[in-house]
Amino acid sequence: MTTSLAIERQGPIGLITMNRAERHNAFDDALIAELTESLRSMEAEDGIRLIVLSGAGKSFSAGADLNWMKRMAGFSMDENRRDAMALATLMRTLAHLRKPTIARVHGAAYGGGVGLVACCDVAVAAQPAMFSLTEAKLGLVPAVISPYVVAAIGERAARRYFLTGERFEAAEAWRLGLVHELAVNEAELDEKLGLIVDAMLACSPAAQREAKDLIRAVSGRPVTSELIQDTAERIAKIRASPEGREGVAAFLEKRRASWVPPDPEPTVPPEAPPGP
């Protein structure tokens, strides 16, 4: 049973909301376990095409729960390793999920909250959102989130923000590439989120899975003959695949591909009352 999350399904969209609003959705061992489990089960659920991760209340997430961190400091090194691995597993599960993921960011995204944003495929943020990698201020390091955060913002920006713990605004997060879209407020945030969801639903689920795998396979790798061979292999395979054939045929036949959801029914305006 989930207590730290609110989970909803809207057709093909899985909505996972971190739900510890009184703690700005800081994550303790229970939230980490529940979030990892929910991501895995939505990944396996046939009707779900993509997942939106958000936070209830004022913030997206204030990162690791510092009360829990304090308690863990009194445990053995082995227990600390096991516990840290649970957070590392959450980040890896989110980053490598086989379905598209979107972070909807408002309020504070601090520490591990920045990690969650970096692990999602796409991030949208409301302008008032604030970001910070506060770990060094607390005598800690952003260790398990670092592979994803450095991949998102680059080594140069990581050197600044890992070492200063400065807060930065959504516009700076956008400039750094941590978030893809900015909105002036939460209403606009949901509009922009909706456009990205629609764009994702118009794409082939199998192609999206392969695209995520492709990015991981080429990212940061030298362009060797093996890599070139691998990329040629991938396109050769997917164009002969059922969704590869269907997508190209649909374009040429000027019709919707089988995976594209139908347009929503137009809302019929109420009939005007008869005139005098």
38 binds ligand COA (CB under 6 A): no
Taking CB atoms, the residue at the shortest distance from ligand COA is 111
31 within 8 A of 5, measured Cβ to Cβ: yes
**Of these, 3, 41, 67, 80, which contacts ligand COA (CB under 6 A)?**
67
Touching ligand COA, residues 95-114 (CB under 6 A) = 108, 110-111
59 binds ligand COA (CB under 6 A): yes
Q: Distance of CA 1 to CAs 22, 30, 44, 94, Å?
A: 20, 11, 18, 20
**Of these, 66, 84, 151, 201, which contacts ligand COA (CB under 6 A)?**
66
Query: DSSP string spanning 205-218?
Result: HHHHHHHHHHHHHH
| Closest by Cα among 198, 179, 211 to 262 | 198
55 binds ligand COA (CB under 6 A): no
Instruction: Give the helix, strand, coil percentages of the chain, each rounded to 5.
Output: 50, 15, 35
4 binds ligand COA (CB under 6 A): no
Q: Cβ neighbours of residue 243 under 8 Å, at least 6 residues apart?
A: 204, 205, 206, 207, 257, 259
121 binds ligand COA (CB under 6 A): no
Catalytic-residue membership of 135:
yes
Between 13 and 126, name the residue whose CB sits nearer to ligand COA: 126
From the list 135, 181, 210, 243, the catalytic residue is 135
Enzyme catalytic residues:
135
